[in-house]
Structure 1
Amino acid sequence: MIEIRTVQVTRYVTPLKEGGSLPAIAEADDDFTYVVKFRGAGQGIKALVAELIGGELARVLGLKVPEIVFAQLDSSFGRTEPDEEIQDLLKASIGENLALHYLAGAITYDPSVNKVDPIMASKIVWLDALITNMDRTARNANMLIWHRELWLIDHGAALYFHHNWTGHETASKSTFPMIKDHILLAQATELEKTDATCKALISEEKLKEIINLIPDSWLQDYDPDYTPEMVKKTYFDFIWYRIQHSEIFLNTAIDARAALI
């Protein structure tokens, strides 16, 4: 059973201004340090939902992702922050946010230095095509090397269908042509073999378990006609359809890789 811990943020350390949503390094009451993604950021709560779903699906596939936790901010947090933009962000983020364990000393993945096992590369490409993650390119790898192992971070740009909520049925059939820009596509030599493996690992029950991790408080304002339960069902239906019909995106990835080499 998947369990997500909840921590209380105790100290804002520093912003990560290279991130468009102004994530920050912060300390929590469990004495660990985290990269906090804020609900009040410009990308909003939907980025947190994508981060949670994408990260936990990656973990099910045996890929390394920093521990994901819910990060609570109370109303007094950030009052002494001198930067007005950051103070406004913190005020807008009171309540439940998302955070990933901070991998101190990690370095950004560099394809010219770090080679990835073909099965792992294929799993990552398959996952990103499944969840329509457009943000794992040479320009922005969103992968770190930590203790000589590859770790995946930042899935907030995935599941972009949810920014046009009424189009989820059409979006579930997307071939995801942007996979051609994936940083690991050239190394993903085992896509067909990986397809069967990944589909076996993500069972219907496991996917429901991941979707049900989403706090109802994050889903109140998606659409006036959708309850949180209906929103969760839409996420499930979107991903489960793509798993069951993975040839939709698998063939696109295989063709894109062939064009590369």
Structure 2
Amino acid sequence: MTATIDLNSDLGEGFGIWRLGDDDALLEVVSSANVACGFHAGDPSTMRRVCRVAADRGVAIGAQVAYPDLAGFGRRFIEIDPAELADAVLYQLGALAAFARAAGTRVAYVKPHGALYNAAVHHQAQAEAVVAGVRAFGPLPVLGLPGSRLLAAAEAAGLTPVLEAFADRGYTPEGTLVPRGRPDALLVDTGEVVDRAVRLATAGELVAVDGTVLAVPAASLCLHGDTPGAVAHARAVRAALAGAGVEVAPFAGLAE
């Protein structure tokens, strides 16, 4: 049984006057915040606000780095030069680090967003580019899918790979995420999300869309902040984990 698990969520994904999800409510529940860094979503004021609230509540801040794709919310694959991608990762890290520092804390880890996250599962050049951007910034842990080229590249570069699982996303029998365009890409029922989260935290496994049981020994569980019922899902998951004797805590250390 896993005695401790991290709960992470994608936050700060509004832009300008537009708001996506309830950041304040989710920051009362999760232990790690994947903060959008302005490339797929987010803006300076949003980044600063989320960092401030996260710091006040003892939530670890992670940089959710992405392709330069505001119009597509970072969910479109981009064939980008690896050197340019590494620079984009470093740029986003630097921006978020400034706001984290202003809030009295620091960026504690990195997680790619959307299409970049999925590309780095199999795309060697892009996986290595993400890691190169992180290494240029500093020795931060990298959050990703078990078995991905991203985590292998992070480990080879001397960074800490952190295994992640999704409480609210459909999985293929191969252990990858079901593409967003399919109807079984998301778990929308709160009970299903709760059952998935507790099973992952206590047994290290989940059920793929075809019924295959997959071993997924994750250190962090993701609950998306932009899905319908996200706050209700998160609160129910947190309560169920407590009932199962699982403590929720950041996998990454906070600033001293």
- TM-score higher than 0.5: no
Say which structure, 1 or 2, has more relative contact order (CA 8 Å, 6+ apart).
2
Structure in which a larger fraction of residues adopt helix: 1
Rg larger for? 1
TM-score (norm 1): 0.28
